Structure 1
Amino acid sequence: MYRKQVLLKSDEGYVEGVVRNYRREDYDELIAIQAESFPPPFPPELWWNKEQLENHVTLFLEGALCVEVDGVLAGSMTGLIVEFDPQHPVHTWEEITDDGYIRNHNPNGNTLYVVDICIRPDYRKLALGKILMQSMYEVVIFKGLDRLLGGGRMPGYHRHAERLTAEEYLQEVVAGKLKDPVITFLLNVGRLPIGVVEDYIEDEESLNYAALMEWRNPFK
């Protein structure tokens, strides 16, 4: 079981936070967090359902993390282990996560793959996404895996698609010429881009593109 106490800097000082594995009694709140974090045009059918959450805690509890702030559930992050071949990186979110059901979780794989991360909007000033990402890096080290990997949405891309390819857009974000709400965050928490995949997930803002972003285990 994972449990970590943290102090989170707020406008009023520091508040107490706890990162832990989520459990069955959290399911309703986790689904509510999804709805708050991914409003339309994000497809509501991609929010968690209870069957998916049950699979997360029964198939790979170490990859089912949430964060509480003063006892309030404020965000979550979910992963599964897969066997990833860098020579054949192309995949969709549905394929590699089993559409979020993670029945393809491979305890003998080499990569912790991010299924999802979401933070309640009212709590986003507390850097909870960074705390959860760092906690998942600790899972990578604990399990002796090669990397953490995931597809990052590029929600700012639709504003620049007429003049930039998805690859060019990613390059401009990495160069600091543009900011993207997701990719810039991932860069700031240590993730490195390894390429762009098309038709990764139904996502109007990203035009269905995603940037594959990894964090390599420094002990491997």
Structure 2
Amino acid sequence: MVPYNGGFIPVVVRNYTREDFAAMVALQAECFPPPFPEELWWNEEQLENHVSLFPKGAICVEHNGRLIGSLTALRVNVNPNEPEHTWEDVTDGGYIRTHIPGGDTLYIVDICISPEFRKAGLGKWMMQAIYQLAVKLDVERVLGGGRMPGYGKVAGTMSPEQYVDAVIQGILKDPVITFLLRCGRMPVTLIENYLEDEESHNHALLMEWKNPFKRGN
């Protein structure tokens, strides 16, 4: 049960499958309207790779038969000393052919929640599911680039670095970065030209959750 409109509604967190492909595309269109590029919405080939190459990382939230949120991840190896990369390179443009079955890192490819349900805490549910998967798989970390959609509104008066500092300090709130901070993700580095994203001016904040239960740590 999650909070919604002053009450609570039942939801199911599960792995998405081939039967969910049409609903997944519709959810992307709902979550990322223009000016977000339509070509970055999922296509059937990408979704087929998600459920065949790493089905455990294909997570969704369902309410009364309707998909209202999704999170996609893959496994990769990460060099902490060379953190900068692009979304395109690490995720193979969303096709995740870069997936490494024994990779030391769970990398978040995408997370989206229906605007109608963004006050219901679904993102935290899915993030907790990915943290649990990280513990089960015994990886080093969960990693991903957080969009900065609020930056576009202040880009004329603040640098990306100043904006990130203000969000981290709680002076400003960003729809994505603030959410990830509340989920326990920690800033690693600011990346330029991470993803074609007009609202973020193509920037992203790389953010990490280190697995405290990693065996051998």
Shorter-chain-normalised TM-score: which range? over 0.9
Residue 95 (structure 2) aligns with: 101
1:87–1:120 CA distance, 2 compared to 1 (3 A) = same
Letter in 2 for 1:13: G
Indicate the SS of the match to 1:126: coil
Q: Select which of 183, 187, 208 maps to 2:177.
A: 183
Superposed displacement of residue 157, structure 1: 1.0
1:202 matches 2:196: yes
1:119 matches 2:113: yes
Residue 2 (structure 2) aligns with: 8
Pick which of 202-211 and 10-19 moved more: 10-19
Superposed displacement of residue 149, structure 1: 0.4
Residue 208 (structure 2) aligns with: 214
Name structure 2 gaps, 5 residues minimum.
none
Superposed displacement of residue 125, structure 1: 2.0
Once the two structures are superposed, the pairs formed by residues 1-220 of structure 1 within 5 Å of their partners are: 7-220=1-214
Pick which of 9-18 and 186-195 moved more: 9-18
Q: Which runs of 4+ in 1 moved over 4 A?
A: none
Instruction: Give me the whole-angstrom Cα distance separating, in 2, the residues matched to 1:151 and 1:74.
Output: 22
For residues 174-218 of structure 1, what are the alpha-carbon distances to aligned partners after superposition, in whole Å with 9 as ceiling and x for unaligned?
001111111111111111111100000001111100000111111
For residues 56-85 of structure 1, what are the alpha-carbon distances to aligned partners after superposition, in whole Å with 9 as ceiling and x for unaligned?
000000000011113221111000000011
The aligned length equals 214
Indicate the SS of the match to 2:131: helix
Indicate the SS of the match to 2:99: coil
TM-score (norm 2): 0.96
Name structure 1 gaps, 5 residues minimum.
1-6
Is 1:64–1:78's contact at 8 Å kept on the other side of the alignment?
A: yes
Instruction: Give me the whole-angstrom Cα distance separating, in 2, the residues matched to 1:169 and 1:15.
Output: 35
Letter in 2 for 1:33: L
Instruction: Give me the whole-angstrom Cα distance separating, in 2, the residues matched to 1:158 and 1:14.
Output: 34
Letter in 2 for 1:44: E
Instruction: Give me the whole-angstrom Cα distance separating, in 2, the residues matched to 1:24 and 1:210.
Output: 30
Letter in 1 for 2:52: T
Instruction: Give me the whole-angstrom Cα distance separating, in 1, the residues matched to 2:56 and 2:50.
Output: 9
Is 1:15–1:70's contact at 8 Å kept on the other side of the alignment?
A: no
Instruction: Give me the whole-angstrom Cα distance separating, in 2, the residues matched to 1:17 and 1:70.
Output: 7
TM-score (norm 1): 0.95
